[in-house]
A and B are shown apart, each in its own frame.
Chain A
Amino acid sequence: MEMLIFLLFAALALGSSLVVVLHRNPIYATISLVLTLFCVAVLFVLLGAPFLGVLQVLIYTGAIVVLFLFVIMLLNVGREESHGAGQGLQIAGALGGAAVFFLLVGLALWRTGLPELHPLTADLVALKSLSRDLFTEYLLPFEIVGLLLLVAVIGATVVARKPPQDGPAASTANAEGAEL
């Protein structure tokens, strides 16, 4: 039974992630991404980490992908057209990316050696011990990641902001809000 559920959702996750990469319409690709993330959440639950699964749905499918869709709708991104000339470049880019990925992974494995793998234990992913580890042993990395995200958000806002214009310009944020 458990195996059946795993196979079903693993297949769905793989299939939908292929659609994410291959579909020409960005809206369909994003909707498939929702399905992929949801299936991965189910796999987390099957692994005995329901907390991670729920957070995956809450943060990724419930908030971040909604923002993707929001931006796609606002910009009205059309279907991607295939150009004869661009095709070769795309394949070259994909191959190059894959080569760099395997090079980096190979380098990391060669430098560190294959670390000994331990199976996930129930108390490692249980809610209480996970949060205790996060706020004691891994506090510094946790805070650094938070700071990094904050910097990225502020940076994106600064980059996207319109340059200030002369004259008594109305507050841009409010004007944009009223247009919606």
Chain B
Amino acid sequence: MEIAPSPVLIDVAVKLAVMLGFVLTVVPVMVWVERRGSALIQDRPGPNRLGPFGLIQPLADALKFMFKEDVTPSAADKPLYLMAPVLALIPAFTTIVVIPFGPTIEAFGRTIPLVIAPAETGVLLFLSLASLGVYSLILAGYGSNNKFSLLGSIRASAQMISYELALTLSVLAVVIPVSSFYLPDVVAYQQEHVWNFIPQFIGFVVFLIASFAETNRLPFDLPEAESELVAGFHTEYSAMRFASFFMGEYASMTALSCLGVTLYFGGWSLPFVHLEGWLGAIVGLLVLVAKVGICMAVFVWVRWTFPRFRYDQLMRLGWKVLLPLAILNLLGVAAMTLAGWI
């Protein structure tokens, strides 16, 4: 592989700036949506003092996090304890490199595919980078030297490994008819046919449930179950280190929403309209943002509507329901593709 000359490096830098800007903007907005949304569902006002509709509240929260005292427990394993919050951010911010956010455009005498890393291994790269997220939870739990943290991180690692299987298998079922791991191909396939959530509805349901478990959101937030484990794996963290876990959670929700939208809801494309060129690039990005926004709203909606699963129920659902369902779905899709039905 040869390293690309500098003008292409500039393309990559610009594309990175767009996507990172997107994810970094989503995080504070989501904090506001979560707090206002929970208030709406629980029939109370929520934060409404700072700015119109309390919109400046996330800024105030961030300032507060910065000025809080940063406590490190004296019994903590210091290097691991300090490393964990940093690792929480890495998978969320690296996985977005394979998400396409527009058509291939011709500009400055070059063809530029609007995906940061046009890698042949697209989806697999996403899954492999996302699977590294569990390390931050494990190290946080072990490094804190606190029994609640340790229990939280043991739960986290078991849960994430179990649901990763179902998630991966449902993603592979999408890849079979497209016969490419490259996500722009998946979008192009959906432009020609229909959005994947119609032919792949079972796979979509498995993906949806598994993505709640992978992001540790209710109803699967066992690693930080307040009523049993104080705050689970991040019990001992305060100030910016706590905020970094918080940001990691919202950023991985964003990344998984991007993947879900791209796999099942046509990504940046619109049905019946063929977007191309610069107009397509701008509209495509807005469409992607809108679709991801809807997904994030569903995350919030589900969190404040469903009660938490018990741990054995969680494991039973993962291994005895979702995994067989995902395998059957994979076999079914493969058979149908061979028969030429999809």
| A→B interface (CB under 8 Å) | 1-2, 27, 31, 34, 45-46, 48, 50-51, 54-55, 57-58, 61-63, 66-67, 69-70, 73-74, 127, 174, 177-178, 180
| B161 proximal to A (CB < 8 A) | yes
- Interface positions of B (Cβ within 8 A of A): 1-3, 77, 80, 119-121, 124-125, 127-129, 131-132, 134-135, 138-139, 141-142, 150-151, 153-155, 157-158, 160-161, 164, 181, 310-312, 315
In whole angstroms, how far apart are the Cα atoms of A57 and B151 in the complex?
26
Whether A61 contacts B150 by the Cβ 8 Å rule is: no
Closest-by-CB residue of B relative to A63 is B161
Picked from B1, B310, B312, the residue with its CB within 8 Å of the CB of A46 is B1
Cβ of B311 and Cβ of A74 under 8 Å apart? Answer: no
Write the nearest CB–CB distance from B37 to chain A, whole angstroms. 31
Q: Which residues of chain B are within 8 angstroms of A50 by Cβ–Cβ distance? A: 119-121
Q: Is the CB of B141 within 8 A of A180?
A: no
Residue of A nearest to B121 (CB): A54
Do residues B164 and A127 form an inter-chain contact, with CB atoms below 8 A? no
Query: Are A69 and B138 within 8 A (Cβ)?
Result: yes
Can you list 26 pairs linking A and B with CB atoms under 8 Å apart?
Answer: A2-B1, A27-B142, A31-B139, A46-B1, A48-B1, A50-B121, A62-B128, A63-B161, A63-B164, A66-B131, A66-B160, A66-B161, A69-B142, A70-B157, A70-B161, A73-B138, A73-B141, A73-B142, A73-B150, A177-B311, A178-B310, A178-B312, A180-B151, A180-B154, A180-B155, A180-B158
A51–B121 contact, CB under 8 A? Answer: yes
Residue of B nearest to A47 (CB): B1
Q: Which interface residue of B2, B132, B139, B310 has the most chain A CB atoms within 10 A?
A: B132
Chain B's nearest CB lies how many Å from the CB of A121? 14
